[in-house]
Copies of this chain bind each other. A is one copy, B any other.
Amino acid sequence: MTIQESGTARPAGRPRSEKAEKAIIEATLDLIAEGMGVSELSIEAIAAKAGVGKTTIYRRWSNKEDLVVDALSTLKAPLPPLAGTSVRDDLVSLLDAMRQESGEARSRCVMNIAMGEADRYPRLMERFMKRAVEPRRRAMREVIERGIATGELRADLDVDMGMAIISGAMLWHTKWGPAGDLPADLPSRVVDVALSGMAP
C-alpha cells in the first residue's frame, strides 16, 4: 500500500523555481524588446537582468534558441473571436488584432525576429512558426475559404494570393508605411481595397 502512486512521481530534491523561470522569460523579452537580436542577446545579460545565476538558465534551456522560442511563444496574443457575420468583418477583426500587436514593443520584436533572423536560426523559426504563426494563418485561411464557399469571394480566387494581399498590405504598412502607430481604420481600408480592387 504505497503512499505515492500517481503517474509521474515528483523527482527528489528541491523543485525548480517557477519564479526564476518567469523572471528569465521576462528578462529575455525585455532585452529583445529593447532592440536586441537573437545573436546580440547574451545569456549573461539575461541572467543579470533576471537576477538569476547562469546555471539556472542552462539547467532549463540548453541553448539560446530554445529559450527564445519559449519566450516568444508566451507572447502571442490569443486569436480574436470571429463574429462570422461576414468575410469582411472577420478579416477586419484579424487585421485589427495584428494592428494592436504591432503597437506593442514586445510583439513588434517578434516580427523583427520572424522576418530578419529566420535564415540564421532555422530551428528557431520552425518551432516559432508552429507555435505562434501557424494558428493565425490557419484562421485567415479558413475565413477566406469560407468566403469562397459562401460566394462572398471570387470562386477562382487563389487562397494564398488572398492571404498575401491582405496580410502583406498590413505588413508593408508596419515596416514601411508612414511613421508612427498604424491608424485605427487601416484594417477596414485594407480589406475594402483588397476586396473590391484598385481598378475602377
Sort chain A's interface into a size bin. 35 or more
Nearest residue in B to A160 (C-beta to C-beta)? B177
Nearest residue in B to A36 (C-beta to C-beta)? B120
Could you tell me the distance between the alpha carbons of A12 and B109 in the complex, rounded to whole angstroms? 37
A residues 143-189 in Cβ contact with B at 8 Å: 151-155, 157-158, 160-165, 167-173, 175-178, 189
Could you tell me the distance between the alpha carbons of A196 and B178 in the complex, rounded to whole angstroms? 25
Is there contact, CB below 8 Å, between A172 and B162? no
Confirm or deny: A79 has a beta carbon within 8 angstroms of a beta carbon on chain B: no
Where chain A touches its partner, the secondary structure class is helix
Confirm or deny: A75 has a beta carbon within 8 angstroms of a beta carbon on chain B: no
Given contacts A115-B115, A119-B112, A168-B170, are A194 and B190 in contact (CB under 8 A)?
no
Could you tell me the distance between the alpha carbons of A39 and B113 in the complex, rounded to whole angstroms? 13
Is there contact, CB below 8 Å, between A153 and B199? yes
Residues in B whose Cβ lies below 8 Å from that of A152: 199
A20 to chain B, nearest CB (A): 18
Confirm or deny: A5 has a beta carbon within 8 angstroms of a beta carbon on chain B: no
Closest 3 CB pairs of A and B: A116-B116, A197-B197, A168-B168
List, sorted by A's number, 8 A–B pairs whose CB atoms are closer than 8 Å. Answer: A108-B119, A153-B198, A161-B169, A165-B172, A167-B176, A169-B169, A171-B171, A197-B198
